[in-house]
Amino acid sequence: MILDHIGIATPNLDVGSAPYLALGFVPEGADEIVEAQGVKVRVFRVGESMVELLEPMRPDSAIAKYLEKNRPGLHHTAYRVESVDAEMKRLQEGGAQFLSAQPGPGLHGTRVVFLHPKWGQGTLIELVEHPQGQGAGH
């Protein structure tokens, strides 16, 4: 399992991009909308992993709600797994608390699921499965 990405909540992708551009990273591809999560996403690749900036598209999205209560910044960490279903089953058997009963669609055809931040000891954790045979960013 490797770190797939860190998710950063920002009210504005251009404003949120400033530190990463200054560090020398270049956005990968065009910004994308993930309808299921109500967010617009800009990706900066950092080796095998990514920084994903998340701008809310709707007031009822998780990121909009987060920004009502918190400053912009680190929102979640995401780990890449071979099979999100198998990993979910394994963790549920150990009592893990998932935020949905089934994985949902993520960026670039991925399947994703989130674990409750209380289970994550204060960190919202996401599991990500990329489409068969594809690495991150496809």
Establish if 44 lies at the interface with ligand CMX (CB under 6 A): no
Query: Looking at beta carbons only, is 24 or 108 nearer to ligand CMX?
Result: 108
Q: Which of the residues 103 through 132 are near ligand CMX (CB under 6 A)?
A: 106, 114, 117, 122-124
CB of 103 to ligand CMX, least distance (A): 12
End-to-end CA distance of the chain: 18
Q: Is 53 in the site for ligand CMX (CB under 6 A)?
A: no
Amino acid code (one letter) for 31: D
H or E element, residue 42: strand 39-46
Q: Is 13 in the site for ligand CMX (CB under 6 A)?
A: no
Specify whether the CB–CB gap between 4 and 28 falls below 8 A: no
Tokens 């990993």 identify what position? 87
Closer of 24 and 95 to ligand CMX (Cβ): 95
Nearer to ligand CMX, 42 or 76 (CB): 76
% helix, strand, coil for the chain, step of 5:
25, 35, 40
CA distance 103 to 128: 9
Interface residue list for ligand CMX (CB under 6 A): 7, 34, 37, 39, 54, 62-63, 65-66, 69, 75-76, 99, 106, 114, 117, 122-124
